[in-house]
Structures are given as structure tokens and as C-alpha cells.
Amino acid sequence: MYYVNVERGVKLAVYDLNPAGKKTVFLVHGWPLNHMMFEYQFDLLPKLGFRCISIDLRGFGNSDAPWNGYDYGRLADDLYEVIRMIGVSEMTLVGFSMGGAIVIRYMSRYKEYKISKLALLSAAAPCFVSREGCPGGLPLEQVNSLVAQISRNRPQAIYDFGQNFFAQPVTPPFAEWFRSVTLSGPGYSTLKTAETLRDADLRADLEQITVPTGIFYGVLDKICPKELPLTLNRKIRNSKLFPFEQSGHAVFYDELEKFNQEFSSFLTS
């Protein structure tokens, strides 16, 4: 692990496995997690010859947690600073859930800088909340209730949210570990990013994406229902759907072996 300064007084934790890898993949975690959610991809990708990079977004994990900067524009700026520092000519950019929304904003805001391929995993986009002209997300009342509960009882709010995360059973030790990851950031960064999830609209950003894009989603997803990836597929040129029939929001884990196989095939194609 090392740190990259993304603005004055703010540094992000960067995890860089197999720097000698011939291809680079950059993974961006979701809400309210950190880089550790990709543990079972980190075990595989370096073995396949990839340089595997991830970060803790500001406000989560080992990164700094300033009071401000939790909109998608600033979070995309943070990605740019890290990608610019890495210095490779091209890479595959991967975003899960809120991370999927952030990488979409990055692709639009920075004209796909250094990115040759994009992977969206259970992406919270183009709109996490259903609205006129952008159906398929969660009801506004449900997300407002989540935001309010975070302000009163964050552990319970995260626990309740997590009940819809996996479609397949997980062991009690795994569930305990995963909950510990979801509580890795302070309350205010968790709250502010939840508000961004609720309020952001990325429809205009989708028009700027031209690189080959894989859209990976769980058919049983209750957090980002399948209407969202179907919309992404319609709006992003040169995109392909990768459905997982027995997976929920945790598409990276519910059908782990199948996901890793299809994900790695996409990366190497």
C-alpha cells in the first residue's frame, strides 16, 4: 500500500499488486465498502498476469476522510489523480455499485483518459433512485429512509441494507467480516455518499463512453434492479451484458467461480 495526494491535505490509499503485470486493471469499490471487497478477485488477477490496482475512496478504509468532496465529480477527480500518477498507457477501469457510477463520471469528465476498456458491476447508474424518464431504481422514499437512519443508527442502517446484498447464503464468519468492512468509514462520509447516490443523474455521461464495456449484473439484484443494467446497455455504445441468474447485488461473490471466469475472460479478450 502507498498513498497518493489527490488534493491539498487529502491522500488516498492505493493497493498495487503485481506491478510487473503486462495489463492493468483498476478496481473501484462500492458503498459503503473499501478495497477489501475485491479480495477474491485480488487472489486471481495477478496470477493471470494483471497488474491489479485498487483504492479506498476518500472517506473509507485507509484513505483520508475530509469533510467535503463526496460528489461524483470530486470522486472522479480523485481517480484521475491516481491514474495520472500510475503512468501506464492504458488500463481496464472497473466499478462496483457506487463505484460504477463514479467510473462513469470519470469516463465522461476525463474523456476516457488512459482507459481502453470498462467494466460495470451492479452499477448504481444511471440513476440509483427512480425518477421521471429514468425508471428502474429504488423508490425515493426508501432511499430517504436509509439516509435518515444513517444519521440515527448507522450500524443498524448498514445491517438492514446488507440484508439485500447477497442472493446466496453466506457463512456467519463471512457475514461478520463483511459488516466490518461496511463500517470502515466515519458516519459523515457514509452519509454524504448516500446522499450523492440518491441525488445523482448520470444519463448525460453515458453518451461519452465509447470503449468496450462489460455490464455485469445479478438478475436477483434488489438494490440495483436489472432494469438499470438494461438501460446502461441501451445507452452505452459497444456494451455487452453479462447476466448472472443466481446472483443479487453481490455479483462479484454470489456465483464466485462463474463470475471470476467470465470477468477474467472479458479482461483478457
Residues assigned a catalytic role: 97, 221, 249
Tell me how far apart the alpha carbons of residues 188 and 223 are, in angstroms, rounded to a whole number: 22
What is the SS3 assignment for 247? coil
Tell me how far apart the alpha carbons of residues 249 and 44 are, in angstroms, rounded to a whole number: 21
> How far is Cα of residue 96 from the mean position of the Cα atoms in its chain?
3
Is the CB of residue 2 less than 8 Å from the CB of residue 31? no
> Per this entry, what is the length of the chain?
269
Q: Across-strand partners of 24?
A: 51
> Taking every pair of C-alpha atoms in the chain, what is the biggest distance, in angstroms?
48
**Amino acid occupying residue 132:** E
Tell me how far apart the alpha carbons of residues 253 and 124 are, in angstroms, rounded to a whole number: 17
- Strand 10-17 relative to strand 50-55: parallel, antiparallel, unpaired? antiparallel
What is the SS3 assignment for 216? strand
Count Cβ atoms within 10 A of the Cβ of residue 60 and give its class: 0-12 exposed, 13-18 middle, 19 or more buried. buried
Q: Across-strand partners of 12?
A: 4
- Strand 213-218 relative to strand 2-7: parallel, antiparallel, unpaired? unpaired
